[in-house]
């Protein structure tokens, strides 16, 4: 029975055609792409704050159409390779959530916060290409977004379970679905031919020592997730702290005390991302 649910859920998840986003970033990018003189850098900076738009461009550039699946992990590189016309096409065809907006705003803040924190962790650990780690942080909970769209009833049941049983989101997913968003992430990353670094970070951010090739990516996201939850910025679906895996610190060669400077850096830079308001522009009026 459980296997049946998993198979049908996987089919549902992978059949996603229309992944909506939140209006604020979309509006901003839409304005940018209307001006043909906009630089790719400017578009890239904005898209890098939106997990859905970032996922869409990375999915597209890694598709077999372009002939280099699994190679591109940077949003900026993706945009250079896709080109202005394709970017504009992606933006034009993206819709926005008309339901669950409040939930999604919390999840968007959590995602962009985790992106910032993960990048800081990577820098602290002296890892190469910290921007790639930021992308991993940005996409780490994409499975939750896709589940909300493709499995709305089950998603609702998970939310109920979190509230009534006082569980973490991941535990509630396992109780209701039999698998977590980490598994959904693995399906999506595989299906979309994302680079293995991103795939493993998305799939193993709750258990970095189980990643086969890129434990550092998974570990950095794990700690990034921890940091953003300590600051209670955004919402990953529950209000519980993630238990910090000692293995994650070990993988990155960090001490617990090293997190102090990561936290400081996060506090300093948070204003940059928390200035990103995911609500529609006229919401406050």
Partner 1 sequence: MTSMALTLFPRTQRAFLLTPDPELAALFQSLWPGGEVEWTVFERGRRAMEVIFNEPPDLLVVDNRLEDIASTEVATIVKSENVYRQLPVILCLDEADLRQPWNWNEMEADDFLVRPVSPVQARERVHLTLCRASRAMDANPLTKLPGNTSIIQRIQDLIDRKDDFALSYCDLDYFKSFNDKYGFSRGDEVLMMTARVIVNTIRGFTGIRTFVGHVGGDDFVFITPASIAEEACRRVVDAFDGIVPHFYDEDDRDRGSIVSTDRQGEVRTFPLMALSIAVVFNTGGRLKHFGEASAIAMGLKKKAKENPKSCYVLDRRSE
Return residues touching partner 1 (CB under 8 A). Answer: 36-37, 40, 66-68, 71-74, 76-77, 80-85, 128, 195
Residue among 74 and 235 whose Cβ is closer to partner 1: 74
Rounded to a whole number of angstroms, the minimum distance from the CB of residue 87 to partner 1 is: 10
Residue among 72 and 221 whose Cβ is closer to partner 1: 72
Rounded to a whole number of angstroms, the minimum distance from the CB of residue 68 to partner 1 is: 4
Rounded to a whole number of angstroms, the minimum distance from the CB of residue 265 to partner 1 is: 25
CB atoms < 10 A from the CB of 279, how many? 14
Rounded to a whole number of angstroms, the minimum distance from the CB of residue 147 to partner 1 is: 30
Distance CA 75, CA 49 (A): 10
Distance CA 189, CA 180 (A): 15
| SS (HEC) of the chain | CHHHHHHHHHHHHHCCCCCCECHHHHHHHHHHHHCCCCCHHHHHHHHCCCHHHHHHHHHHHCCHHHCCCCCCCCHHHHHHHHCHHHHHHHHHCCCECCCCHHHHHHHHHHHHHHHHHHHHHHHHCCCCCHHHHHHHHHHCCHHHHHHHHHCHHHHHHHHHHHHHHCCCHHHHHHHHCCCCHHHHHHHHHHHCCCCHHHHHHHHHCCCHHHCCCCHHHHHHHHHHHHHHHHCCCCCCCCCCCCCCCHHHHHHHCCCCCHHHHHHHHHHHHHHHHHCCCCCCCCCCC
Which pair of tokens denotes residue 177?
Answer: 């679905």
Rounded to a whole number of angstroms, the minimum distance from the CB of residue 52 to partner 1 is: 23
Rounded to a whole number of angstroms, the minimum distance from the CB of residue 123 to partner 1 is: 17
| Residues contacting residue 274 through CB under 8 Å, at least 6 positions apart | 109, 113, 233
Residue among 71 and 102 whose Cβ is closer to partner 1: 71
């Amino acid at each position: 029975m459980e296997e049946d649910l998993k198979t049908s859920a996987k089919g549902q998840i992978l059949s996603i055609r229309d992944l909506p986003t939140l209006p604020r970033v979309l509006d901003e990018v839409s304005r940018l792409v209307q001006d043909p003189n906009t630089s790719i850098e400017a578009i890239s900076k904005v898209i890098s704050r939106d997990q859905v738009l970032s996922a869409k461009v990375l999915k597209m550039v890694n598709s077999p159409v372009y002939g280099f699946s699994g190679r591109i992990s940077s949003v900026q590189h993706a945009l250079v390779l896709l080109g202005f016309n394709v970017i504009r096409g992606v933006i034009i065809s993206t819709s926005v959530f008309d339901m669950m907006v409040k939930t999604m705003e919390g999840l968007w803040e959590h995602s962009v916060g985790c992106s910032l924190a993960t990048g800081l962790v990577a820098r602290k650990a002296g890892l190469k290409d910290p921007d790639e780690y930021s992308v991993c942080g940005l996409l780490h909970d994409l499975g939750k977004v896709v589940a909300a769209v493709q499995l709305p009833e089950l998603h609702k049941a998970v939310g109920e379970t979190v509230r009534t049983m006082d569980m973490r989101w991941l535990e509630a997913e396992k109780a209701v679905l039999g698998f977590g968003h980490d598994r959904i992430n693995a399906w999506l990353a595989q299906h979309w031919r994302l680079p293995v670094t991103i795939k493993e970070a998305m799939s193993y951010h709750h258990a970095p020592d189980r990643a086969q090739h890129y434990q550092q990516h998974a570990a950095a996201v794990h700690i990034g997730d921890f940091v953003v939850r300590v600051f209670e910025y955004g919402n990953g679906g529950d209000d519980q702290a993630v238990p910090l895996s000692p293995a994650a610190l070990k993988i990155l060669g960090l001490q617990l005390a090293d997190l102090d400077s990561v936290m400081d850096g996060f506090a300093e830079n948070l204003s940059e991302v928390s200035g990103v308001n995911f609500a529609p522009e006229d919401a406050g009026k």
